[in-house]
Amino acid sequence: MGKIERIEVPAADRDRLESLVGDRNTSQKVVWRARIVLLAGEGLRATEVAGRVGTSTLTVRRWRRRYAQAGVDGLLKDATRPPGRKPLTAAVIQRVVDMTLHEKPPRATQWSVRSMAAVTGLSHTSVQRIWHAHGLKPHLVKTFKLSTDKPFVEKVQDVVGLYLDPPDKALVLAVDEKSQIQALDRTQPGLPLKKGRAGTMTHDYKRHGTTTLFAALDVATGTVLGTCMKRHRHQEFLRFLRVIHRNTDKRLDLHLIVDNYATHKHPKVKAWLEKHPRFHLHFTPTSASWLNQVERFFALITQERIRRGAFTSVPDLESAIMDYLEHHNADPRPFVWTASASAILEKVARAKQALESQH
């Protein structure tokens, strides 16, 4: 037989332990520890104690040792953990933030975790935590361009007004051309997506020509009227205006949101519009294509159908585009414009002020 794992429990300790077990206010974990010591004091082996208490033999031996070292008081609190790294001081954190915002690393245009850690003597994870806490992402940059259009305010108010408060008995259509869409075919077949591996496609391709997608997004319903043409001159724009005219209710006025491309202002286009007074063109400011909702649709079709497609000819590409339009219109969902004109203008004003303060 194995050695009996008895520990000596003086009468005073036993009374105190039994009191802890019987007290409703004692936490459950302290009750378990007290029972472990009481049973061990009766000479039960660790395996027997573990079975009765419902824990592991490792836990039984741990609390036997704790009692032997610190008595009953040692059972009432958890062991303190070894000290970890000292927390970063506010001064150190502020230094990292200031360097990230106002300084550049040697031989680089932006900080990386490694370069900041090397300069400050901090760990990579410390730098990452500081950047995350302060919303700093020095590896990212966004492009922008502020419009210099003199009637910028008036145009923003006009276009946003159509989105937020469209006129009665009228359609609001966001219209534009997505030009130079290339029919690209890959030089070799790629591998399909599989578990643990991304799909592949060759980086080189064969060019088979280009097409232009003319599209009119119905702001209210999300449906898109579109057609592909070889070029995008004023002649093609006129053809598309006629397509819109044929495919919309003649009793409704049409408010078209367009950009400042020269074809939209061609004399022949103006002459046609004068003969069709239900057409009203609303121009976005220069360098402000983000105001035209159809640009969001162009981003979708590019991401979902064109960018990773393989097309053996222009007709093949155009067929794919029209198929996408058909599926889109089967379950259209309009984009919901929420920003007011005043909110947009205030944001632009803040951006200009911030830029001017830097120069």
pLDDT tens-digit map of 67-87: 988 888 888 887 665 566 678
Per residue in 311-322, pLDDT (tens digit) is 999 999 999 999
pLDDT higher than 70, residue 46: yes
pLDDT higher than 80, residue 180: yes
Tell me what pLDDT residue 2 has. 46
Mean pLDDT over 256-274 rounds to 94
Tell me what pLDDT residue 84 has. 61
* Band (357; pLDDT cuts 50, 70, 90): confident
Tell me what pLDDT residue 214 has. 98
pLDDT higher than 90, residue 196: no
* Band (94; pLDDT cuts 50, 70, 90): very high
SS3 for the chain is: CCCCCCCCCCHHHHHHHHHHHHCCCCCHHHHHHHHHHHHHHCCCCHHHHHHHHCCCHHHHHHHHHHHHHHCHHHHCCCCCCCCCCCCCCHHHHHHHHHHHHHCCCCCCCCCCHHHHHHHHCCCHHHHHHHHHHCCCCCCCCCCCCCCCCCCHHHHHHHHHHHHHCCCCCEEEEEEEEEEEEEEEEECCCCCCCECCECCCCCCCEEEEEEEEEEEEEECCCCCEEEEEECCCCHHHHHHHHHHHHHCCCCCCEEEEEECCCHHHHCHHHHHHHHHCCCEEEEECCCCCHHHCCHHHHHHHHHHHHHCCCCCCCHHHHHHHHHHHHHHHHHCCCCCCCCCCHHHHHHHHHHHHHHHHHHC
Mean pLDDT over 246-265 rounds to 94
pLDDT higher than 60, residue 1: no
pLDDT higher than 60, residue 199: yes
Tell me what pLDDT residue 193 has. 87
pTM of the model: 0.69
- Quote the mean pLDDT of the chain: 90
Least confident segment among 15-24, 80-89, 276-285, 315-324: 80-89
Q: What is the CATH number of domain 152-191+203-342?
A: 3.30.420.10
Share of the chain above pLDDT 90, in %: 62
* Band (178; pLDDT cuts 50, 70, 90): very high
pLDDT higher than 70, residue 287: yes
pLDDT higher than 80, residue 47: yes
Higher pLDDT, 355 or 9: 9
